[in-house]
Structure formats: structure tokens, C-alpha cells
Amino acid sequence: MRGLIALLAAFSLLVPVPALAATEPRTGFEKTGKWTTEAEEQAYLRSLGLPVTQIGTTAQGRPLQLVRVGSSSARAVVLFTCSQHGDEPAGREACLIRMRSLPRSSDVTYLFVPNANPDGRVLNTRGNSSGIDINRDHLLLRSAEARAMAAVIRDWQPDVIHDLHEFGPSSPYYVKDVLWLWPRNLNVSSDVHALSETLSRSYVRPSVEAAGRTSGVYGIYVDPVTGEPVRQVAGDGQERILRNTAGLKHAMGLLVETNDSGAPAFRVESHLRALEGTQSFVRDNRSAIEAANAASRAVRSGPVYFGGADNQAPDPSDVLSEPPCGYVLTGAQYREVGDELALHGIRSEYLRGGDRIVPLRQEARALIPLLLDARADGPLVSARPVAQCVNGPAN
């Protein structure tokens, strides 16, 4: 008997034994089948040993966190924002699971905001504890959650922003397991727009459908018998929605929504398959992504659109065919919104007399009129458009 034990011991030294499943960190959801609690999430993040930074604090005092997988100097950066809507929990669970298995040394940096609305998650509400819908706040930045996200986007300049949500099947025409969508805002550069649509249609769709899910375009009711579109109910070009803001900030944008009438494990698994689609997209399209990102940052001309979408022609009054050179803010206006402009990475210059000018000639060009022009749909402030930026405004 002793000989047999010795033999087994010797054998075990030679044969690589797979890590015991019990020793690997597990989310609360994996252990109990119930959504991971706040305490379980924090214990899990500690046990993974990944770099976690605090990027903000919610109104109720909870930390907003960013988890990084991979080197901080990799060529490509992918940002996952998980469950901005607190009552859409499956995305957060998929993010927590996926961060554990991604390669820690590769040429892609994966960033996760694993719990993008921690107060809303605990309260099980769509908005945060003040009732702000974070996914309608990515321009005005009234919430700590959206401000934290804006700073991450400014500081990391992600190539891809993948935003995880869930939808309720409110209608017999809305029956897919998974819905996906790209930025529809007309100010998104054509290369970023095209590649974002490729990410949805050619990567996320096949990835989830290969796993037996039905999928389709977010926001379009489809006749369940004929498959024909009935009407559009959501998924428009509003710039304050992260999917669109992402495109305006030069990232390939993606919204993924799982149907919340499914079983929790099915929904989490659906999100995991969609995450795989994004990983494949980045692997296959590295140079095209870099080129689209660079081309978007370099855009220096072209009309500005205050309305419309890629599937809806803008009203002529919403097209600014000859945009101003820049916008002048009074000193008082600048004191009011200077922090928000900085969070968006928007540069301004001091003018004699205490005014500031925000020239359109900068990387954030696409965002500036949407924030500062009175004709925009809910601007941050109505600043004065000027035709001449050189040596101060001429008008």
C-alpha cells in the first residue's frame, strides 16, 4: 500500500494537474445562483489579484471601480461598462466572470467598470440613487457615475466601448434573446461608424447565434412570423447615450442587451458569448481599428448634425453645413462648465477680458457643438458661435 501511495505521489509530480475548481475564485452568482452581492463582489475582486482603481464615489458612498486585465501600455484598449442600469444585472455577472479568464499579458488591455451603478444595483433601480439615468448622462455629466466613465474614456482612449444591458420584452414584437446596436449618431466619423456596425453584425451576432441564441438589432420591433421590421421604438442617435458618445469619442461603440425574461444563467451566458464576439473583433481587426480611430481624431471639417440618425434623415434645420470656428464662453459660463469640458477632454483658450474660446479644431470636434450650441438637443451651456478663431473672435 505504501508503495502504491509513493507511486501515485511520484506520478502526481510528473503529470500537470489542472487547477482545482474549488480553489479558483468564484462570483457569488456562480456559487449560489443569486446575483453577486456587494460584499461578494469586493471579496471576489480582491481574490483575483487584478489591479483595481477607484475612479469615483457614488452619492451613497460606494466606490466606482476600474479593473484592468493586461498591461497598461498595450496597443489596443477595450472598455466594458457593466450594468449602468442597476436593475439589469446579467451584464455585471458576465464581466466579473470574464475578467478572471482573460490573458493577463497580451497586447490588448481589457478594462472593466464591473459595477457601473452600484447604488442602483443595491436598490435594484434603473437610475442611480438620485434617479439619474446614467445612460442619458454621458454629455452633461451630472452623476458621479457618468463623470467617472468620462474620465476613464479621456485617460485611456479606448478603441472599443462595449456596454452591457438587459431589456424587458414589452411587446410581442420584441422577442429575441440578444439585441445589439452600434452608434447611430450622424456626427460619428464614417470609419468608426462602419467598423462599429461590423462589430455588431459580423462578430457579436454570429457569436451569440452560434450558442443557440436568437438576436437582432436593438430598438426595432420585428414581426415574429415574417421577421419584417414593424417600427423603431428605441436605439436612436441621441448623443448622451454611451453607445453614441463612444463613437463621438473615436471608439467603436457597442450596446448589447439580453432579454430579461430568460433564466439568469442563460442571460449571463449570452453576455459571455457577446464578449467573445468583441474579443474576436479586436483580434481580427487591429489595424483597421487603429486607422478608424486615428481618422476620427483627425476630422477637421464637415457638417454638424443636431438631429437625425444613420437610419433617419435629419431635419434640414438640424444640419449646420458651415459650422463655426469655435464657441465663446463668458467667464461665468466657463466657471459653470469648465469641469465638464475637462472631463470630456475638450481644450479651451483664454481670451482677453476673461472669456474662453473652445475651437472646433481639436480631437473632440464632434462633441463640441452638441455641448455648446443652443441648437443642440439639451446642451451643457449655450455659448456664442464665432466664425473667426485667429486672434480672438471677430464677431
Cα–Cα distance measured from residue 54 to residue 388, given in angstroms and rounded to the nearest whole number? 42
Q: Which of 217, 215, 241, 245 is nearest to 231 (CA)?
A: 217
Residue type, 242: L
84 vs 285 by CB, closer to Zn ion = 84
Residue among 255 and 389 whose Cβ is closer to Zn ion: 255
Could you say which of 26, 62, 68, 85 contacts Zn ion (CB under 5 A)? 85
Sheet-wide strand order for 215-217: 52-57, 63-69, 108-113, 76-82, 160-167, 252-259, 178-181, 215-217
**Least distance to Zn ion, CB of residue 259, Å:** 12
State the number of binding residues for Zn ion (CB under 5 A): 3
Q: Say how far apart CA 364 and CA 297 lie, in whole Å.
A: 7
Options 115-123, 144-152, 164-172, 236-244: segment touching Zn ion (CB under 5 A): 164-172
Query: Shortest approach of Zn ion to residue 49 CB, angstroms?
Result: 30
The distance of closest approach from Cβ of residue 34 to Zn ion in the complex, given in angstroms and rounded to an integer, is: 21
Q: Which is nearer to Zn ion, 260 or 310 (CB)?
A: 260
Least distance from Zn ion to the Cβ atom of residue 83, Å: 8
User: Using the 8-state DSSP alphabet, how is residue 202 labeled?
Assistant: I
Asked if residue 271 binds Zn ion (CB under 5 A), the reply is: no
Query: Helix axis angle, 144-156 relative to 331-343, nearest 10°?
Result: 70
Looking at beta carbons, which residue is closest to Zn ion? 165
Smallest separation (angstroms) from Zn ion to the CB of 84: 6
Listed in sequence order, the residues at least 6 apart from 114 whose beta carbon sits closer than 8 Å to its beta carbon are 41, 45, 65, 67, 82, 92, 95, 96, 99
Q: How far is the CB of 87 from Zn ion (least distance, A)?
A: 8
Taking contact as CB under 5 A, which single stretch among the options 157-165, 202-210, 274-282, 284-292 is the one that binds Zn ion? 157-165
Q: Of the two residues 88 and 269, which places its CB atom closer to Zn ion in the complex?
A: 88
Contact 395, 386 (CB under 8 A): yes
Q: Which three cell numbers stand for residue 53?
A: 482603481
In the complex with Zn ion, which residue's Cβ is closer, 161 or 304? 161
Locate 168 and state its grid cell.
Answer: 424587458
Rounded distance between C-alpha atoms, residue 164 and residue 345, angstroms: 24
Q: Binding segment for Zn ion among 77-85, 136-144, 154-162, 234-242 (CB under 5 A)?
A: 77-85
165 binds Zn ion (CB under 5 A): yes
Each residue 87-106 as x (binds Zn ion by CB under 5 A) or -, in order, gives -x------------------
* Angstrom distances, CA of residue 351 to CA of 355, 372, 393: 5, 17, 9
For the bound state, the minimum distance from the C-beta of residue 105 to Zn ion, rounded and expressed in Å, comes to 33
Q: Quick one: which segment of 27-35, 41-49, 158-166, 316-324 binds Zn ion (CB under 5 A)?
A: 158-166
Q: How far is CA 315 from the centre of its chain?
A: 28
Please list the residues that pair with 253 across neighbouring strands.
Answer: 161
Cell of 256: 448589447
CB 296, min distance to Zn ion, A? 25
Decide if 299 contacts 367 (C-beta within 8 A).
Answer: no
- What mask of x and - would describe binding to Zn ion in positions 108 to 147, judged by CB under 5 A? ----------------------------------------
The binding site for Zn ion (CB under 5 A) comprises 85, 88, 165
